[in-house]
Structure 1
Amino acid sequence: MSNDTSVPVGDVDPESGELTERDVAQIREALQAEEPTTRQDGARTCKLVVQEDPGALQPLLDDLVALLEDDSVSVAQQAGTVLLSFATAHPGELTDDVSEIVTLATHEVNAVTLIGAQLLSKVVVEQPAAAASEVDRLLPLLRDHPGSFEPSDGVDMVDNPDTRQTVVAHEQQEHGMQLQAQGTVANVLVAVADVEPAAFTDHVDELVALVDHDDPAIAGLAVEMLTEVGEAHPDAIAPAYDQFVDALDHDDQRVYVRAVRALGVLGDDRAVEPLRDLADSTDDEDVSELVEDTATFLENQ
């Protein structure tokens, strides 16, 4: 979507490894320009700078963050790419800018969404509580996209086999970016739930619905989020009992093992029998032991 062939703005020399006050002023002028192409040139210059020395971008961080909400898709994407490189080297520097980063992560273009999700992950890795206020904006990213790929209806209308294959390949790529962004956001939300479970108490129904997600990775992480909430607020996850029990029959171990732990946290002794059924049917000794221990715990509490 973006083209990185332009030269740096003004007489900036990105390879010098440092930015003079004049350099910063020239780049800032480009980043704040009225023309999207000029803003994009400014962001591309920042990309060259960050490759040499991420720290040199410190004076321009606010300008780049502002571009995450730019009307131009290319500008927002380029700014996100630059900040992703910066955050990789300085993960704690952008925690005050989570709102703008979430805006990028909720973009309608999948490639931009993925960059936003990756940037969010880098920024909150050491301070997940910084994203607690954004739970209501992030959860729809997991809910609104199907986990399994299906070509669009329009593919059948393409007569040329090569063209049809190209269209399907593009749709698969788009779908892959959706799934990668979903998985990244889900892991961020698990980290948030671990430190700020109260941020999810008003979203239990949404998490319960995600337990039935087509993608077992998302389903398993939804169970994990509910478990984290339940550790602090057991009554809050009571509506999830049926989904936890149903998840014991899931084909993917990432889901049913997490469901075992969730039932232990929930503390509902109705789960003893379905847990024992799982313990008797699994061939995995470690899983069987975990399930049996959980059933015994519920039985004796």
Structure 2
Amino acid sequence: MTTDSTAPLDEVDPESVTPGAVDESDVHGALASSDPLIRQRGANVCETLAEQNVDTVVPFLDAIASLAGEDNAPIALRAIGILDAVVEDDPHALDSRVSGLIDALDSDVVDVRLTTGTVLGKLVVERPELVAPHTQRLLDSLDDTEPDHTTTDISTGTDRVTRQTLQRHEAAERNRLIAGRRTLINVVVAVTETEPRSVFDSAVSLGALLDDVDPVVAGGAVDALAELAAIDPTVVAPFGDRLIDCLDRESTVVRARAIRALGYLGDDAAIPKLRTVAETAADETVRSLATKTANFLTDTT
């Protein structure tokens, strides 16, 4: 339906619109508008259409993907939600359109990054080759968003209730940031499991994450390096000492994964430390894995 309005879709109710009730040129015009209110109306219309039939928004996916990376958080979240629906229904439709999602990882809004990571997590399961070219961007985002675990001093000039409210908000924001980073490292691991050679050039960034304060992120980096070492140990060789250091981490998961990675790496320099872990680790599984890996490295060197 075309109108005489100067603003595209001005006379359309985004909540009740149906496929075929709007002209494609009006939707394109709204999504490309310089007015954020009009762009948001266009995104709202597309969201409603996608809920009814994802195919109806395919003609607008280039514009929608572009909106996912824009600075206006409400518009970006709406666009990401539409792309989420597309991933669940037809992930092939995102061919050549993933860069907009990746751009959303640069957002200052934690919820935008968290939602983006969730969509990428779904996409990497169905089409890992679409995500693989963007692995370095994912790792850059992880490096740039390591959370600050210090508590902001908000005691001056605030009452107890206000302080508690601000502290809860700060804690919730930090938890969402942590959840988003954990989702992204899982996406990176999924890429290395299916497209390992595409991640070779990002080995340095993975190595930097071995010291991450979050054991889930550090463990994911270890897993990813293990996948690379299984294909070509020389790519991971520069990080052999760092992987050995991971055997001193408190996290049992990180230690176990580091043992696995060292087995793939095949460096006999790890044998003494593995023997120590085999004798002293509190966890029986870690002790057993360290013993087997040390024996394997001894027999193959």
Give the TM-score normalised by the residue count of structure 2: 0.87
Using the TM superposition, give the Cα deviation of residue 263 of structure 1 relative to its aligned residue in structure 2, in angstroms: 0.6
Instruction: Name the CA shift for 1:166/1:158 in 2 (closer, same or farther; >3 Å).
Output: farther
The match for 1:38 is 38
The residue correspondences of 1:105-144 to structure 2 (distance < 5 A) are 105-144=105-144
* CA–CA distance in structure 2, aligned partners of residues 167 and 53 of structure 1: 41
The SS at the match of 2:92 is coil
Instruction: Name the CA shift for 1:248/1:196 in 2 (closer, same or farther; >3 Å).
Output: same
* CA–CA distance in structure 2, aligned partners of residues 241 and 93 of structure 1: 41
Unaligned runs of 5+ in 1: 1-7
Using the TM superposition, give the Cα deviation of residue 283 of structure 1 relative to its aligned residue in structure 2, in angstroms: 4.5
Provide, for residues 134-168 of structure 1, a one-character-per-residue CA deviation record: whole Å limited to 9, x for no partner. 22222122222335632234x24342222222222
The match for 1:208 is 207
Do structure 1's residue 179 and structure 2's residue 186 form an aligned pair?
no
Using the TM superposition, give the Cα deviation of residue 14 of structure 1 relative to its aligned residue in structure 2, in angstroms: 6.0
The match for 1:52 is 52
Deviates more, 1:257-266 or 1:86-95: 86-95
Instruction: Name the CA shift for 1:203/1:61 in 2 (closer, same or farther; >3 Å).
Output: closer
The match for 1:146 is 146
The match for 2:98 is 98
Deviates more, 1:175-184 or 1:126-135: 126-135
* CA–CA distance in structure 1, aligned partners of residues 287 and 106 of structure 2: 40
Deviates more, 1:207-216 or 1:57-66: 57-66
Instruction: Name the CA shift for 1:80/1:224 in 2 (closer, same or farther; >3 Å).
Output: same
Using the TM superposition, give the Cα deviation of residue 104 of structure 1 relative to its aligned residue in structure 2, in angstroms: 0.9
Check the 8 A contact 1:117/1:185 in 2, yes or no: yes
Do structure 1's residue 289 and structure 2's residue 260 form an aligned pair?
no
The SS at the match of 1:19 is coil
Check the 8 A contact 1:9/1:45 in 2, yes or no: no
Provide, for residues 154-185 of structure 1, a one-character-per-residue CA deviation record: whole Å limited to 9, x for no partner. x2434222222222222222212211111111
Using the TM superposition, give the Cα deviation of residue 261 of structure 1 relative to its aligned residue in structure 2, in angstroms: 0.5
Check the 8 A contact 1:211/1:222 in 2, yes or no: yes
Using the TM superposition, give the Cα deviation of residue 112 of structure 1 relative to its aligned residue in structure 2, in angstroms: 1.1
One-letter amino acid matched to 2:54: P
The match for 1:191 is 190
Check the 8 A contact 1:204/1:236 in 2, yes or no: yes
Check the 8 A contact 2:58/2:93 in 1, yes or no: no
The match for 1:73 is 73
One-letter amino acid matched to 1:10: E
Check the 8 A contact 1:148/1:215 in 2, yes or no: no
* CA–CA distance in structure 1, aligned partners of residues 195 and 52 of structure 2: 37
Deviates more, 1:83-92 or 1:208-217: 83-92
Using the TM superposition, give the Cα deviation of residue 220 of structure 1 relative to its aligned residue in structure 2, in angstroms: 0.1
* CA–CA distance in structure 1, aligned partners of residues 217 and 285 of structure 2: 23
Provide, for residues 25-62 of structure 1, a one-character-per-residue CA deviation record: whole Å limited to 9, x for no partner. 44333222231111111212222233333333223222
Check the 8 A contact 1:183/1:218 in 2, yes or no: yes
Check the 8 A contact 2:252/2:286 in 1, yes or no: no
Unaligned runs of 5+ in 2: 1-8
State, as a whole percentage, how many aligned pairs show the same letter. 33
The SS at the match of 2:96 is helix
Check the 8 A contact 1:50/1:56 in 2, yes or no: yes
The match for 1:5 is none
Deviates more, 1:86-95 or 1:187-196: 86-95
The residue correspondences of 1:15-30 to structure 2 (distance < 5 A) are 19-20=19-20, 22-30=22-30
Provide, for residues 184-214 of structure 1, a one-character-per-residue CA deviation record: whole Å limited to 9, x for no partner. 1111111222233333333333222211111
* CA–CA distance in structure 1, aligned partners of residues 294 and 157 of structure 2: 55
Do structure 1's residue 266 and structure 2's residue 268 form an aligned pair?
no
The SS at the match of 1:62 is helix
* CA–CA distance in structure 2, aligned partners of residues 147 and 32 of structure 1: 35
**Number of residue pairs matched?**
292
Instruction: Name the CA shift for 1:109/1:13 in 2 (closer, same or farther; >3 Å).
Output: closer
* CA–CA distance in structure 2, aligned partners of residues 101 and 13 of structure 1: 23
